[in-house]
Amino acid sequence: MKLGWLEITIFSIVLTVVISALFVRGKDWLDPGFWAVFAIVGSLIMFSVLWFLTFDTLKKMSLGSKRVPSPTVINHRVGYEFDPERKIYVPTIGEEEPFFGKKWSEDEAIQLITKGKLAIQSRNCMDCHTLLGNGAYFAPDLTKSWLDPKWETMIKPMVGAQTKEEAIAKWIQNPQYYATWQRRMPNLKINEEEAKAIVGYLKFMSAIDTNGFPDHFGKSSLAY
């Protein structure tokens, strides 16, 4: 079902005003009771609309939906390209490519993603980094960090890894060994298994359709 925001907005406001007006007929507008009706009707209608939209939204962003891919997306090349029709950048899911040298089954991929999210929460990543733009601003945004050119250009040679996923995994296990700039990531005692899971999570997260945020990620030549 395609829902238009304008229809929803107008519907909820008109409904609030009409129903409230019906209940306050004959009441003086300086009487507190007049506004009590508006308060109750307004809150109930807005909350009902939110509830209705919640079901729709949760369905549209469940794992494996168009907006939030299945965890098996880690078996594919992920990109970020401008979509002329939507006029925003959207994730692209390309041909198969091995992740840590293998193809992950659906179960394995889900387990990896779950572990990755647990690792991210257990290390409080959000209190320095932003994920989907939410969190603290002490360290770079991780929303599309899998697609960051720096992994290939700087970190891979620095840590001596064969692939991007290995480079990230090595780097986050021992960030203190590799200089980037004066603000340094502390060693968060991430073991190898957890590091793999975190990298899996970053790849999975980069394939979420975020309505174009962050705009032209990693595409600016001015950033280098």
Partner 1 sequence: MKNKNFLYESQKLAFWYWTLALILFGFQLVFGLIIAYQYIQPEFLHKILNFSIGRLLHLNAMILWLLFGFIGGIYWFLPMETEREIVGLFWAKVAFGLIAVAVGIVVAVFLLVQIGKADWVTLWFITEGREYIEAPRWADIGIVAVFSIIFFNVFATIWKAKKLKGILWVLVIDLLAIIGFYIAGMFFTPNISVDQFWWWWVVHLWVEATWEVLVGVLVAWILMSVLGTPRKIVEGWLYLEVFLVFGTGILGLGHHYFWIGAPEYWLGIGGFFSALEPLPLVAMVVHAVYDAGVHRLKTVNKPAFFWIVFQSFGNFVGAGVWGFMHTLPQINLYSHGTQITAAHGHLAFFGAYVATNIAMIYTALQKVRLNEGQILDGGLWKWAFVSLIISIFGITAPLTVAGFAQTFIERAVGGSSWQAYINGQLHPWVKESMVWRFGFGIMFFISYLLLVIDLLKIGKKPAIA
Range 12-71, binding partner 1 (CB under 8 A) = 12, 16, 30-32, 34-36, 38-39, 42-43, 46-47, 49-50, 53-54, 56-58, 60-63, 67-68, 71
Does 126 bind partner 1 (CB under 8 A)? Our answer is yes
Terminal CA-to-CA distance of the chain, rounded, Å?
43
From 144, 156, 170, 203, residue interacting with partner 1 (rule: CB under 8 A) = 144
Task: Give the binding range for partner 1 (CB under 8 A) out of 98-106, 163-171, 187-195.
Answer: 187-195
With beta carbons less than 8 A apart as the criterion, state whether 21 and 50 touch: no
With beta carbons less than 8 A apart as the criterion, state whether 178 and 171 touch: yes
Task: Give the binding range for partner 1 (CB under 8 A) out of 95-103, 162-170, 207-215.
Answer: 207-215
From 24, 74, 148, 199, residue interacting with partner 1 (rule: CB under 8 A) = 148
Q: How far is the CB of 121 from partner 1 (least distance, A)?
A: 3
Does 119 bind partner 1 (CB under 8 A)? Our answer is yes
How far apart are alpha carbons 38 and 111 in whole angstroms? 48
**Strands (E) located in the chain:** 76-83, 88-96, 130-131, 134-135
Task: Give the binding range for partner 1 (CB under 8 A) out of 99-107, 111-119, 156-164, 167-175.
Answer: 111-119
Residues numbered 76-105 forming contacts with partner 1, rule: CB under 8 A:
none
Residue 146: name the closest of 211, 92, 213, 207 by CA.
Answer: 207
> DSSP state, 213?
P
Does 134 bind partner 1 (CB under 8 A)? Our answer is yes
Does 108 bind partner 1 (CB under 8 A)? Our answer is no
Does 181 bind partner 1 (CB under 8 A)? Our answer is yes
Of 38 and 163, which has the nearer Cβ to partner 1? 38
Cα dist from 218 to 88, 133, 188, 198, whole Å? 14, 15, 26, 20
Residue 201: name the closest of 119, 83, 101 by CA.
Answer: 119
